[in-house]
Amino acid sequence: MENCIFCKIVAGEIPCVKIYEDDLVFAFLDIGPINFGHTLVIPKEHHQSSSTIPEATAGRMFHVGSRIGVALRRALDYDGFNLHLADGSCAGQVVMHAHLHVVPRGCEDGFRWNWRQLEYAGTADRTETAEKIIAKLKLD
Ligand code: 5GP
Ligand code: ZN
């Protein structure tokens, strides 16, 4: 894909610090890490949205991402990690080539997700919400 910064990284046209590569996925250090070692796992093929990534590639991204999380813990003495994917600009996606963030975490790293917890009006409201989602859920 022309003018995609991550396609250019996969093609070697833009430098990166590579962590892992196979036939389906490519992983490299994020240039602006939440914590040092923060890694991005991307499909080699260009996909803007995670929803169009073929299942085998998506599965590989998750597998590689979680193994990199373990490597970060062991190598850099972290306590855990977050796997994060922003799909759509409203969700915080800035680079429009789907990517899985592997964010190494320390118990005292001072970083907090700004995670709110709304409340459903009641059981009926919750059930109705679920029914709407299920009606539109397509797995092919
Ligand atoms: P998003 O906000 O789209 O989920 O995350 C994009 C991520 O890509 C950001 O964390 C940003 O630091 C990283 N990033 C953007 N441009 C480059 C680049 O040229 N090289 C690397 N290694 N990371 C980049
Ligand atoms: Zn791309």
Q: Read off the pLDDT band of 140 (50, 70, 90).
A: confident
pLDDT digits 0-9 by tens, 54-99: 999 999 999 999 999 999 999 999 999 999 999 999 999 999 999 9
**84 counts as catalytic:** no
pLDDT at 3 exceeding the cut of 90: yes
Q: Which atom of ligand 1 is nearest to the CA of 101?
A: 4
| Distance, CA of 125 to CA of 119 (rounded, Å) | 10
- The span from the first CA to the last CA of the chain, in angstroms, equals 25
Q: Is the distance from CB of 82 to CB of 101 less than 8 angstroms?
A: yes
From 16, 94, 96, 101, mutation site for ligand 1 pocket: most ligand atoms within 8 A of C-beta: 94
- Lining ligand 1 with CB less than 6 A are 5, 16, 28-32, 86, 92-95
> Which CATH number applies to 5-114?
3.30.428.10
Ligand 1 nearest atom to the CA of residue 84, by list position: 4
Q: For the chain, give the mean pLDDT.
A: 97
Per-residue model confidence (pLDDT) at position 1: 80
Domain ranges of the chain: 5-114
User: Residues with beta carbon < 5 A to ion ligand 2?
Assistant: 1, 4, 6-7, 46, 97
| Greatest Cα-to-Cα distance within the chain, rounded to the nearest angstrom | 54
